[in-house]
Amino acid sequence: MNLFLTMLLGGLWHGASWNFVVWGGFHGLFLGLERMGKKFWPGFFSAENGPGILGKFSYRIFVLLAVVLCWVFFRSPNWKTTGIVFEKLFGFSAGADPALSYLRILFIGFFLFFAATWIGNRDEKDGSFRKFYEGLHPALFGILVGIGLLFAVVFSSESQPFIYFVF
């Protein structure tokens, strides 16, 4: 209960909107459920010692989805926008770009997910990704990060003010 109330107050601390309160409440609820689950089912609620690869995979997917869906409440300026986002997420309509087919969006999403998972698993086993980026000259690494940030800013659809300046 303390964890739930702390996260609820953390939501209020982020802003004077019911969206932030709901965001904090959901995070507190999920953290409380996880803590309770670890007490009663310690093997299942552990990403490292879970019930096989399928259990680990499903646990990580659930945690990722829970956190990402909670972020919708955090980032939406009002209830109407929150409703629109959830409608687009679960309404079977392409919200990103109508020119892209559903199959293409699904393929890109699965490709990015499995590529990130493969890179992470490979790095855990032999450190190959870490060896790659640690072997780069610091200046080259900085240039690559700068180019990535430049692309992210230039190709973003619209300018978003810093979240703490919105109040």
Radius of gyration of the chain (CA): 20
Sign of the four-CA dihedral 105, 57, 55, 7: negative
Helix orientation angle between 79-90 and 52-75, rounded to the nearest 10 degrees? 140
Query: Quick count: other Cβ atoms within 10 Å of Cβ 82?
Result: 19
Contact 31, 63 (CB under 8 A): no
Which residues have a catalytic role annotated? 14
Tally the C-alpha atoms within 13 A of residue 2's C-alpha that lie toward its C-beta: 0
Within its chain, how far is the Cα of 155 from the centroid?
Answer: 20
